[in-house]
Amino acid sequence: MPSTAFHAPDTVEDAVALLSADPTARPLGGGTDLIVQMRSGRLSPGAVVDLKRIEGMSGVRRDDEGFVIGAATPCTALKADAALVAAWPGVVEAANLIGSVQVRNRATMAGNLCNASPAADSVPALVAAGAVCVVAGPSGLREVPVEAVPVAPGKTSLASGEFVAEIRLPAKPAGGGDAYLRSTPRTEMDIAVVGAGVSLVLDGEGTCTSARIALGAVGPTVVLVEEAGAALVGTKLDDDALAAMSKAVQAASNPIDDKRGTVSYRKAMAGVLARRAVLIAASRAGAKA
């Protein structure tokens, strides 16, 4: 890894300037993808810009609209925030399926998102939850829905000089619940064969008033399946509604065959996992069993 510079700026503006000055420069959060890719030779950035010395980049805070998660917040730190766990257990659980404890003590959801793997565990959960990124760049700050960040395996919609500075989650809606499930051959240290994130809201009668369902590892990017959420809205999550939701999930799945799973297995499992995740989210939303 020749001639890579290391910078640890203490302001967002300095980080943007450093990233803008060299299109090959990369922001460093936890490094669990970036450093692996540098060591393998897949990436040779001209500069590494460590975000962790910037105030506000590490940790979870509340504001009027919900939760603000600094880009450099490690996944294990999310579990320590009781309010976040209570509001978005599916997101926190998804982030804490990644790698090992060692990895999760460094790895961040912003990094998981910007690595742009279709199998990123935290991303379907964030998309389902309606999370928004605050992206810092040469023209200031802009907000981008999480689902608009990955555009292809390993590629994001971020422009040169831009980086994700925060992930924002709304406050928990009344009657809301979320969940994320993945299928892996092993329970730990594995990569999702299929992942399904669900967030839904039930009214006092148990009728679903909104639902978002996002899938991982069944296409080139994590995908929000609007038809699947729509199949649940207005129902009490009866068998017919769940079947229609699963069908919409399978129709939106466009996976590849690889060593982790076949196309037909992934499509079938996407429907199964989405159904199970809906039921968990519903029980968290207060549905009667």
Partner 1 sequence: MSKIHVSTTVNGDATEYLCEPTSSLLDVLRDTMGLTGSKEGCGSGDCGACTVVLDGEMVCSCLVLAAEAEGRTVATIEGVAEGSVLHPVQQKFLEHAALQCGFCTPGFIVAAKALLDRNPNPTETEVRYWLAGNLCRCTGYDKIVRAVLDAAAELRQERTPA
Per CB under 8 A, residues contacting partner 1 are 1-6, 8, 28, 30-32, 35-36, 38-40, 48, 50, 52, 74, 76, 99-103, 105-106, 187-189
Bridge partners of 246, per DSSP, are none
Bridge partners of 224, per DSSP, are 214
User: Helix 239-252 vs helix 263-284: angle between axes, to the nearest 10 degrees?
Assistant: 140
Nearer Cβ to partner 1, position 20 or 76? 76
**CB of residue 138 to partner 1, shortest distance in Å:** 24
Q: What radius of gyration do the chain's Cα atoms show?
A: 19
**CB of residue 264 to partner 1, shortest distance in Å:** 29
**CB of residue 73 to partner 1, shortest distance in Å:** 12
**CB of residue 1 to partner 1, shortest distance in Å:** 4
Rounded to whole angstroms, the Cα distance separating 285 from 279 reads: 10
**CB of residue 30 to partner 1, shortest distance in Å:** 8
Nearer Cβ to partner 1, position 43 or 278? 43
Nearer Cβ to partner 1, position 10 or 257? 10
Rounded to whole angstroms, the Cα distance separating 91 from 180 reads: 7
Nearer Cβ to partner 1, position 48 or 215? 48
Residue 124 and residue 216 in contact, taking contact as beta carbons nearer than 8 Å: yes
Q: Which residues contact 224 (CB under 8 A, 6 or more apart)?
A: 127, 128, 147, 212, 213, 214
Rounded to whole angstroms, the Cα distance separating 54 from 101 reads: 24
**CB of residue 223 to partner 1, shortest distance in Å:** 27
Half-sphere exposure of residue 200, counting CA atoms within 13 Å on the CB side?
37
Nearer Cβ to partner 1, position 40 or 205? 40
Nearer Cβ to partner 1, position 105 or 235? 105
| Encoded amino acid at 221, one letter | T
Residue 18 and residue 9 in contact, taking contact as beta carbons nearer than 8 Å: yes
